[in-house]
Amino acid sequence: MDFMNILFALLILGGLAVVFGAVLAIASKVFEVKTDPRLPEILDCLAGANCGGCGFPGCGGCAEAILKGEAPVTACAPAGAEGAAKIAAIMGMEAPSGERMVAHVRCNGGEASVKRYEYVGVADCLAALKVAGGPLECTYGCLGMGSCVTACQFDAIHINDRGVAEVDKDKCTNCGACRAACPRKLITEVPASKAVHVNCMNKDKGAAAMKVCKNACIGCGLCAKNCKLGAISVVDNVAVIDYEKCKGCKICTKVCPRDAIEPIATAEEKEKYKEVQKRMAEKKAAEAASAAPAAK
């Protein structure tokens, strides 16, 4: 009797399983959401970091936006040019071309900055700013608390020995996470192939800038005056580079009196440039003097 009861129960359970399985199978067909076969292909081309730098909720959201035409094939910066080219091929488009961009921290203050007080607290830039506006006299300087370091998922930014955030341009994918994390908006994007960069965003006038940081740009304009290509100018009391014109001659780095332009020229390089300029001036003066009697 017990055996028959058990067998009967098993048959009922088996029958129910078959019925429910059939119902689920039918429901899956009836309520099936059609997925574009290109979606998983695009997803495979993305970095998979879910960093949010694209502005969409993770890589899945980015892939869907690209497929719908709501985002460009270059939306995923960490995927790089190679990933963008693969996505373009999937979408039946031409591969995009252009300069690879990387993040750059526009500050060279750190130890050169004047401190208002010694901050002791949570290692977070925003938290430091909450305490009387931050520990630096310079209201444009890098706080060095590493919020950008925490935000970067590619180990591409660190606090250097001067106490300023610095980007490893070989590792940087320009995802934008560090830019979003910086409360002072000191991190910009620059062409990866360019080696000359202004490391300051202090818009105060010269005297005020000098008081808060010995490396601050004072808007003197020497860089602009000496650039033969017109690739650098002073805007709002701070030097700005036009990367389309800049050829990397580095003359601006040699004439900057405040070491606000990267790469920072050595004292020897600056003296050598001064000597060259002096000889050129003397040559022009001599030519002008010799030409004067002939003109008479």
Does residue 294 register a pLDDT over 60?
no
Give domain status of residue 29, yes or no: no
Between residues 103 and 18, which one has the greater pLDDT? 103
Give domain status of residue 15, yes or no: no
Give domain status of residue 265, yes or no: yes
Tens-place pLDDT, residues 173-189: 888 899 999 999 999 99
Lowest-confidence pick of 3-12, 193-202, 239-248: 3-12
- Helix boundaries (H) for 182-266: 206-212, 222-226, 251-255
Between residues 161 and 287, which one has the greater pLDDT? 161
Task: Look at residues 75, 91, 107 and tell me which one is the last residue of a structural domain.
Answer: 91
Beta bridge partners of residue 233, listed in sequence order: 240
Are 108 and 86 within one domain? no
Are 247 and 163 within one domain? no
Closest CA to 113 of 216, 239, 232: 216
Does residue 218 register a pLDDT over 80?
yes
Give domain status of residue 23, yes or no: no
Are 187 and 104 within one domain? yes
Q: How many folded domains does the chain comprise?
A: 3
Give domain status of residue 33, yes or no: no
Give domain status of residue 224, yes or no: yes
Q: What local confidence, expressed as pLDDT, does residue 197 receive?
A: 96
C-alpha distances in angstroms, 238 versus 75, 138, 232? Answer: 31, 14, 10
Task: Look at residues 193, 227, 248 and tell me which one is the last residue of a structural domain.
Answer: 193
Calculate mean pLDDT across residues 205-229. 95
Concatenating the DSSP letter of every residue in 122-190 gives: -S-HHHHHHTTT-SBS-TTS---S-HHHHH-SSS-EEE-TTSSEEE-TTT----SHHHHH-TT--EEEE
Q: What local confidence, expressed as pLDDT, does residue 194 receive?
A: 92
Q: What local confidence, expressed as pLDDT, does residue 3 receive?
A: 67
Query: Residue 232 is inside which H or E element, if any?
Result: strand 232-235
With cut-offs at 50, 70 and 90, classify the pLDDT of residue 7: confident
Are 171 and 246 within one domain? no
Give domain status of residue 84, yes or no: yes
Q: What local confidence, expressed as pLDDT, does residue 296 receive?
A: 52
Does residue 26 register a pLDDT over 90?
no
Are 67 and 127 within one domain? no
Are 176 and 248 within one domain? no
Calculate mean pLDDT across residues 186-213. 95
Give domain status of residue 240, yes or no: yes
Calculate mean pLDDT across residues 15-31. 77
Calculate mean pLDDT across residues 207-232. 95
Q: What local confidence, expressed as pLDDT, does residue 28 receive?
A: 72
Q: For a pLDDT cut of 70, what percent of the chain falls above it?
A: 95
Are 142 and 188 within one domain? yes
List the Cα angle 11/15/18 in 5-degree steps: 140
Tens-place pLDDT, residues 111-166: 999 999 999 999 999 999 999 999 999 999 999 999 999 999 889 999 999 999 99
Cβ–Cβ < 8 Å for 108, 162: yes
Calculate mean pLDDT across residues 29-54. 81
Domain that holds residue 107: 99-193
